[in-house]
Amino acid sequence: MKIIKTDKAPAPIGPYNQAIKNNGVVYISGQVAIDPATGEMDNANLEAETHRVMKNLGAVLEASGSHYSHLIKCSIFILDMNQFSVINEIYGSYLDKYYPARETVEVRRLPAGARVEISAIAKSLES
């Protein structure tokens, strides 16, 4: 088992790691729109927030030796299912003809005042 840590994604805000790699599989903790450079939420609007979440996810994927194209499963948590289409379009723009298994769940509240959070499982390209 290997702990994955990168300064290109926000540091954990609790007792967890950005990701754990085990037997070629990467388990990525939920990413919210905290800008790793400033430590502040990048949530001027839902579009910017969703892009930041996907960039944070991408940074952790890269640090683990993986990529969006190797995602196996994603879990998306959102505050308002009426905003699903906006989030879904941006999420899909980071994927290239390969779509992982996924669920999207409306929740009452997310950490750090987020409106969207995404966790993932991916195959690592490195051992």
pLDDT digits (tens, 9 = 90+) for 70-121: 999 999 999 999 999 999 999 999 998 889 999 999 999 999 999 999 999 9
pTM attached to this predicted model: 0.95
Total domain count, the chain:
1
The SS3 assignment for 83 reads: helix
Cβ neighbours for 108, distance < 8 A, ≥ 6 positions apart: 79
Given a cut of 90, whether residue 50 has pLDDT beyond it is: yes
Q: What is the model's pLDDT at position 52? A: 98
Q: Which domain holds residue 74?
A: 2-123
Cβ contact 32:53 at 8 Å: yes
C-alpha 84/C-alpha 19 separation (Å) is: 26
Q: What is the model's pLDDT at position 80? A: 97
Q: What is the model's pLDDT at position 97? A: 83
The pLDDT tens digits for 13-47 are: 899 999 999 999 999 999 999 999 999 999 899 99
CATH number of the structural domain spanning residue 84: 3.30.1330.40
Q: Could you tell me the pLDDT band of residue 127, with boundaries at 50, 70 and 90?
A: low
